[in-house]
């Protein structure tokens, strides 16, 4: 009787895994999905608002006529990207650049197919030999078809094609000269007595003779796709619209001196980006291109972590008869990016219709006379708002969407190109003017060195995309997938986690 019952249970389990559609339209099967709010970001719900100048155009620019636009929900950083967050990007790129150089030297010394004995040598540059055997300790019978395909079609390691290798992150980099493991490692780090080699500046070019990493070598390489150009083009070849970018991503710390003539700002130049005192202050001295590179890296970095933590999942079959090792399918996260001009203004208003500032009212002080943002009040009295330069990114009160310093502190790059008449031609649904030939990009919000006019949520300004300033930073956004709860709080919609 027990055997019959066990057979019946097994039969149900097996047949339940193969339900036929009986010729009906059942659709493709999808995993349950619920959006996850990234740490440090706020959900900006879908909605409509009056975009443009909500009060007198005192400057008579006539570049922001009022129009109703609708915006799809998105996540936005609660604060401007800080020095500490941008440092994480810089450090990751720096370490990757060094690991690539070490891997190239290891291949030069050992060849592309070294023996395991060579790879196991202690205190050697060989520890940084790239990994191109993804599946380890598995016999051929248990390897997947793609793993076998890669092994049978291995054509060598090509550092211009990241698909042919994986950098070895299992071993820590050694930065102290006294701890270099061997001559080869030292030659990679310091150079082989040739001008321009190695990763450190010569002593005569270093501040106070201190050992200094050559920041010009911190270059981030990635590929972008120009979708709008591809749509407009009659060409059927998509590869024409993929653009390889190489961006030197270290901030320009000299902006503190270049932006102000006859002014003593050397302490900011020397300390602002790297000193711990400024870790939570907004990063400045980054161009529009560098901000976009950061957003691309942030997307890649999160997807890389998800793929790594989605592997090596063990599935156990009924009654423990077999155990198989599989890779869990992981969906990529929506891309991080710069906000459009319309998204930025919608978020800055915080849901307050026709607001002058993110806090709503037409005044820059509260009822007690305290300033509500970091800017240049009272005809140049920088210190009257309790800050001479920038302040911590989470200073002052946030707006009703939970966003800090949408006015003041630093101006912020947006994705949009600047054109005086762009409001007249933009769509009413998620408007964005993007023109690759237009070098002027919209900046919003005003900064610590601006007067109150530029703090208005409707005030428009621009800077050339390659320029770097001591008063321009950025924050990123991420698309919300599906439909959010919206302003009407519809209980039947999926709620945000």
Helices (H), 111-240: 116-119, 145-152, 183-190, 227-232
Asked if residue 53 has pLDDT above 70, the reply is yes
Mean pLDDT score, 183-187: 91
Q: What is the DSSP string of 380-446?
A: T-GGGGT-SS---TT-S---TTS---SSSSSEEEEEEEP-TTHHHHS-SBS-----TT--EEEEES-
Domain that holds residue 260: 52-77+249-497
Residue that wins the pLDDT comparison between 22 and 39: 39
Q: Identify which of 160-174, 413-427, 473-487 has the greatest average pLDDT.
A: 413-427
Query: E strands of 260-410, at which residues?
Result: 313-316, 323-326, 336-337
Q: How far apart are CA 397 and CA 394, in angstroms?
A: 8
Asked if residue 347 has pLDDT above 80, the reply is yes
Separation of alpha carbons 281 and 394, rounded Å? 9
Q: What is the pLDDT, as a whole number, of residue 302?
A: 93
Taking only the tens place, the pLDDT of each residue in 399-447 is 999 999 999 999 999 999 999 888 888 888 989 888 888 999 999 999 9
DSSP 221: E
Q: With cut-offs at 50, 70 and 90, classify the pLDDT of residue 311.
A: very low
Q: What angle do CA 36, 38, 44 make, to 5 degrees?
A: 85
Q: Is residue 201 part of a domain?
A: no
pLDDT of residue 328: 54
Q: What percent of the chain has pLDDT over 90?
A: 47
Q: What integer is the mean pLDDT of 285-314?
A: 85
For residue 341, name the pLDDT band (cuts at 50, 70, 90). Answer: very high
Predicted confidence (pLDDT) at residue 381 exceeds the cutoff of 90? no
Share of the chain above pLDDT 70, in %: 77
Contact 272, 253 (CB under 8 A): yes
Q: Which residues lie across from 326 on neighbouring strands? A: 313
CA distance 439 to 437: 6
Taking alpha carbons only, the member of 394, 395, 455, 475 closest to residue 76 is 475
Lowest mean pLDDT among 16-20, 83-87, 286-290, 417-421: 16-20
Stretch (H or E) spanning 408 = none
Confidence grade of residue 495 (pLDDT, cut at 50, 70, 90): very low
Instruction: Please say whether the beta carbons of 384 and 472 come within 8 A.
Output: no
The size of the chain, in residues, is 497
Mean pLDDT of 59-86: 89
Rounded mean pLDDT, 69-97:
96
Which is more confident, 10 or 472?
A: 472
Is 289 within a domain? yes
Average confidence (pLDDT) over 50-65? 75
Please tell me the predicted confidence (pLDDT) of residue 195. 62
What are the angstrom distances between the C-alpha of 109 and each of 129, 130, 181, 350?
A: 10, 13, 15, 59
Q: Is a pLDDT exceeding 60 seen at residue 385?
A: yes
- Residue 173 is assigned to a structural domain of this protein: no
The pLDDT score that the predictor gives to residue 109 is 87
Instruction: Identify whether 59 is part of a domain.
Output: yes
Is the residue at 360 inside a domain? yes
d(CA 445, CA 465): 17
| Residue 94 within a domain | no
For residue 150, what pLDDT band results from cuts at 50, 70 and 90? low
Tens of pLDDT, residue by residue over 97-123, are 999 999 989 888 888 777 778 877 776
What does the mean pLDDT of the chain come to?
A: 83
Closest CA to 359 of 455, 482, 261: 455
pLDDT band at 234 (very low <50, low <70, confident <90, very high): low
Mean pLDDT computed over 283-312: 89
Is residue 449 a part of any domain in this protein?
yes
pLDDT of residue 262: 93
pLDDT for 7: 55
DSSP string, 101-128: HHHHHHHHHH-SS--HHHHT-SSSGGGG
pLDDT given for residue 32 in this prediction: 65
CA distance 413 to 468: 11
DSSP string computed for 20-56: --TTS------------PPTTEEEE--EEEEES--S-
| CB-count burial class (<10 Å; 0-12, 13-18, 19+) for 432 | middle
The CATH number of the domain where 323 resides is what?
A: 3.90.1580.10
SS3 assignment, position 463: strand
- Rounded distance between C-alpha atoms, residue 131 and residue 393, angstroms: 40
CB 77 within 8 A of CB 406: no
Cβ neighbors of 466 (< 8 A, separation 6 or more) are 287, 288, 289, 439
CB 105 within 8 A of CB 161: no
CA dihedral over 15, 21, 26, 29, signed as positive or negative: positive
- The predicted model scores a pTM of 0.85
pLDDT at 444: 97
Q: Please state, as a whole number, how many other Cβ atoms lie within 10 Å of the Cβ of residue 34.
A: 10
**What confidence category does residue 312 fall into, taking pLDDT thresholds of 50, 70 and 90?**
very low
Q: Which residues contact 20 (CB under 8 A, 6 or more apart)?
A: none
Domain count, the chain: 1
Return the closest-CA partner of residue 61 out of 450, 460, 463. 460
CA count, 13 A, side-chain hemisphere, 342? 26
Q: Which residue has the higher pLDDT, 436 or 273?
A: 273
Measured CA to CA, the distance from residue 387 to residue 145 in angstroms comes to 62
Other Cβ atoms closer than 10 A to 183: 10
What are the distances in angstroms from CA 330 to CA 31, 33, 150, 303? 11, 12, 21, 9
Asked if the model's pLDDT at residue 467 lies above 90, the reply is yes
447 within some domain: yes
| Selection from 22-26, 238-242, 279-283 with the highest mean pLDDT | 279-283
Q: Report which of residues 344 and 141 the model is more confident about.
A: 344
Kind of pairing between the strands at 67-71 and 472-473: unpaired
Q: Where would I find the beta strands (DSSP E) of 270-428?
A: 313-316, 323-326, 336-337, 411-417
């Amino acid at each position: 009787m027990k055997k019959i019952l066990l057979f019946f249970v097994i039969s149900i389990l097996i047949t339940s895994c193969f339900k036929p559609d009986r010729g009906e339209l059942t659709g493709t099967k999808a995993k349950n999905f619920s959006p996850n709010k990234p740490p440090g970001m706020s959900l900006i719900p879908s909605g409509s608002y009056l975009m443009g100048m909500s009060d007198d155009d005192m400057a008579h620019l006539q570049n922001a006529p009022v129009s109703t636009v609708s915006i799809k929900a998105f996540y936005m950083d609660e604060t401007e990207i800080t020095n500490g967050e941008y440092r994480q990007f810089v450090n990751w790129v720096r370490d990757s650049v060094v690991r690539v150089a070490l891997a190239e030297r290891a291949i030069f010394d050992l060849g592309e197919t070294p023996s395991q004995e060579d790879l196991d040598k202690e205190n050697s540059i060989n520890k940084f030999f790239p990994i191109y055997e993804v599946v380890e300790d598995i016999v051929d019978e248990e390897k997947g078809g793609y793993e076998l395909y890669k092994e049978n079609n291995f054509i060598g390691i090509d550092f211009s094609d990241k698909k042919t290798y994986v950098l070895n992150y299992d071993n820590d980099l050694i930065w102290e000269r006294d701890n270099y493991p061997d001559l080869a490692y030292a030659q990679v780090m310091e150079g082989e007595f040739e001008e321009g080699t190695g990763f450190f500046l010569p002593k005569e070019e270093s501040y106070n003779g201190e050992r200094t990493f050559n920041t010009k070598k911190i270059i981030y390489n990635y590929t972008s796709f120009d979708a709008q150009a591809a749509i407009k083009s009659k060409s059927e070849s998509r590869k024409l619209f993929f653009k390889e970018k190489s961006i030197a991503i270290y901030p320009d710390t000299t902006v503190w001196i270049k932006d102000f003539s006859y002014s003593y700002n050397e302490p900011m130049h020397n300390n602002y980006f790297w000193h711990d005192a400024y870790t939570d202050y907004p990063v400045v001295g980054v161009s529009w291109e560098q901000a976009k590179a950061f957003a691309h890296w942030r997307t890649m970095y999160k997807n890389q972590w998800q793929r790594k933590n989605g592997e090596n999942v063990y599935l156990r079959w009924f009654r423990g008869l077999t155990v198989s090792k599989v890779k869990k399918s992981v969906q990529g996260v929506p891309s991080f990016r710069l906000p459009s001009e319309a998204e930025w203004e919608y978020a800055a208003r915080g849901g307050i219709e026709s607001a002058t500032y993110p806090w709503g009212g037409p005044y820059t002080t509260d009822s007690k006379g305290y300033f509500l943002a970091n800017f240049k009040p009272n005809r140049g009295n920088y210190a009257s708002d309790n800050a001479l330069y920038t302040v911590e990114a989470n200073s002052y009160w946030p707006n009703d969407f939970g966003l800090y310093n949408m006015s003041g502190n630093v101006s912020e790059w947006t994705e949009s190109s600047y054109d005086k008449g762009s409001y007249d031609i933009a769509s009413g649904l998620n408007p964005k003017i993007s023109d690759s030939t237009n070098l002027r990009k919209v900046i919003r919000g005003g900064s610590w060195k601006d007067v109150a006019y530029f703090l208005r949520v409707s005030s428009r300004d621009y800077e050339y995309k390659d320029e770097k300033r001591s008063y321009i930073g950025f924050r990123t956004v991420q698309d919300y997938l599906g439909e959010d709860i919206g302003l009407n709080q519809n209980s039947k919609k999926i709620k945000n986690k």
